[in-house]
C-alpha cells in the first residue's frame, strides 16, 4: 500500500450495496469507491458515473488497485466471495449476516488470520441513534441495574415481495436478517446470555419463510444477572411497539421510532452533512422518587453515524485503530443465530455456554 488512500471494491449493487455501502464508505476521507462488480453497469453509473464497473468477482479481485473488498451479495454468496477475496490478499468487509452458519464463519476467521488481512462484518446498527443513546444511558447508571430489556423491529409489509430475502433459499428469513442486528446490539450491551429460546413463524398470506420472530434470552449469571431480554421482529405490525423498553432497579426508559439513516439513504441522501443522523424523537425516562411520585423527563437522542464504522475500518487497515467488528465477535454472533434456529426447531430454550467455549 503506497499511500493512506484506500480503494474499495464493492461486490453487488443490490439494496445493500447501493443503499448502505457505496454512499457510506464514500463519505469517509481516505476511503474511495474504486470499482463495483455488477451485472448492472447502467444502474451503477446512474449514481456513480466515475466508478469502474467490472462484470464479476474475479475481475475485481484481479485489480491491484483494490485494497478492500466489500461483500454485499445475497447471503449465500458471502462465504465464497469473502473466501476468494481473502485468498487474493484483500481486506474484507462482509454485510450481515456474516455467513450462512458458524462453521463458515470460523473458516473465514481462520483464513483472515493466516493471510494477515482485516476481516470485518458490517454491523451498522451499532451506530444507530437510539442504540448510541441507550448505551450511554446504561453506562451512566441512572436506571440502576437493568432487569428487563425489550428490543423491537416492527414493520408493516403485508405483501410478500419477489426478492431472494423472502424466498425459500439459504440465508433468507427475518431471523438472520433483523435478528443479526438485535442480537448483536444485545451482546454489545450485556454480553452472552445463558439460554436462548426462539419462536418463528410465517404469518403473512403466501409467506414462504419466517417473517416473525420472538426470542427470549435469560441471563442467570455474571454482572447483569438476573436479566431477561426479549427480541422481537415482525412484518405485520401496523402499530409498532416501542423500539426499546428498559426496566431497571431505579427506573425505566422507553424509546419509540427508528434511526433515520436508512430512510435518508433510501431517499438518496449522502452521509456526513449537517444534521445527518439526527433523531428528533426523544426517549422517555421515568424515575420513581422516595415520596412515591414518578419524575419523567425526555432524553434527547444522539445522532446516528454509520460513517463511523467505515472510518474505523480505514483506521484498522492502516494500523491506526481497532477493527470495529472483529471476526471473533462475528463468529460468536453466528453461533447464536445457529442456536436460535435449533431452538425454534426443537421448541425449547437451549444453553448458550457450550457454543461460546473455545478449545
pLDDT digits (tens, 9 = 90+) for 169-196: 999 999 999 999 999 999 999 999 999 9
CATH code of 286's domain: 3.30.360.10
SS3 117: coil
CA 75 to CA 82: how far, in whole Å?
11
Please give the tally of structural domains in the chain: 2
User: Does 139 share its domain with 241?
Assistant: yes
User: Does 138 share its domain with 284?
Assistant: yes
Average pLDDT, the chain: 95
User: Does 236 share its domain with 153?
Assistant: yes
306 phi and psi angles, rounded to 5 deg: -65, -25
Q: How confident is the model at residue 358 (pLDDT cuts 50, 70, 90)?
A: very low
CA 39 to CA 297: how far, in whole Å?
52
Does 160 have pLDDT greater than 70? yes
What average pLDDT score do residues 255-265 get?
Answer: 97
User: Burial letters for 18-33: b for 16+ Cβ neighbours within 10 Å, e otherwise?
Assistant: bbbbbbbbbbbeebbb
CA 307 to CA 103: how far, in whole Å?
30
Residue 3 pLDDT: 63
Q: How confident is the model at residue 2 (pLDDT cuts 50, 70, 90)?
A: very low
Domain that holds residue 234: 129-258+272-304+337-354
Instruction: Please report whether residue 267 resides in a domain.
Output: no
Find all residues with CB under 8 Å of 245, minimum gap 6, and list them: 148, 149, 150, 252, 253, 254
Residue 314 pLDDT: 98
Residue 254 pLDDT: 98
User: Does 152 share its domain with 294?
Assistant: yes
User: Does 55 share its domain with 80?
Assistant: yes
Entry pTM: 0.95
**Ramachandran category for residue 125: left, alpha or beta (phi over 0 → left; psi -120 to 50 → alpha):** alpha
Does 346 have pLDDT greater than 80? yes
Amino acid at each position: 500500500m503506497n499511500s493512506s488512500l484506500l480503494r474499495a471494491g464493492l461486490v453487488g449493487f443490490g439494496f445493500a450495496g447501493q443503499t448502505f455501502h457505496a454512499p457510506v464508505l464514500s463519505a469517509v476521507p481516505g476511503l474511495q469507491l474504486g470499482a463495483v462488480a455488477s451485472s448492472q453497469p447502467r444502474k451503477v453509473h446512474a449514481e456513480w458515473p466515475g466508478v469502474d464497473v467490472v462484470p464479476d468477482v474475479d475481475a475485481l479481485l484481479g485489480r491491484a488497485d483494490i485494497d478492500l473488498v466489500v461483500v454485499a451479495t445475497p447471503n449465500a454468496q458471502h462465504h465464497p466471495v469473502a473466501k476468494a477475496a481473502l485468498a487474493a490478499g484483500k481486506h474484507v468487509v462482509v454485510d450481515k449476516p456474516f455467513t450462512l452458519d458458524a462453521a463458515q464463519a470460523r473458516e473465514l476467521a481462520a483464513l483472515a488470520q493466516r493471510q494477515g488481512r482485516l476481516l470485518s462484518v458490517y454491523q451498522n446498527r451499532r451506530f444507530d441513534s437510539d442504540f448510541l443513546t441507550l448505551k450511554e444511558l446504561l453506562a451512566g447508571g441512572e436506571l440502576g441495574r437493568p432487569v428487563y430489556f425489550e428490543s423491537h423491529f416492527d414493520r408493516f409489509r403485508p405483501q410478500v415481495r419477489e426478492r431472494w430475502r423472502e424466498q425459500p433459499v439459504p440465508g433468507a428469513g427475518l431471523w438472520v436478517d433483523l435478528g443479526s442486528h438485535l442480537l448483536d446490539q444485545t451482546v454489545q450491551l450485556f454480553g452472552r446470555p445463558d439460554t436462548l429460546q426462539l419462536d418463528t413463524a410465517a404469518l403473512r398470506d403466501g409467506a414462504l419463510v419466517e417473517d416473525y420472530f420472538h426470542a427470549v434470552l435469560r441471563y442467570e449469571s455474571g454482572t447483569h444477572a438476573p436479566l431477561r431480554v426479549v427480541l422481537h421482529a415482525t412484518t405485520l405490525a401496523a402499530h409498532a411497539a416501542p423500539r426499546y423498553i428498559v426496566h431497571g432497579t431505579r427506573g425505566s426508559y422507553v424509546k419509540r421510532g427508528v434511526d433515520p439513516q436508512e430512510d435518508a439513504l433510501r431517499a438518496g441522501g449522502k452521509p456526513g452533512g449537517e444534521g445527518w443522523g439526527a433523531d428528533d424523537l426523544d426517549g422517555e425516562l421515568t424515575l420513581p422518587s422516595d415520596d412515591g411520585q414518578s419524575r419523567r423527563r425526555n432524553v434527547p437522542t444522539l445522532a446516528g453515524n454509520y460513517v463511523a464504522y467505515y472510518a474505523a475500518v480505514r483506521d484498522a487497515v492502516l494500523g491506526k485503530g481497532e477493527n470495529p467488528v472483529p471476526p471473533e465477535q462475528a463468529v460468536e454472533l453466528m453461533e447464536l443465530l445457529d442456536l436460535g434456529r435449533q431452538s425454534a426447531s426443537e421448541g425449547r430454550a437451549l444453553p448458550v455456554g457450550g457454543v461460546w467455549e473455545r478449545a
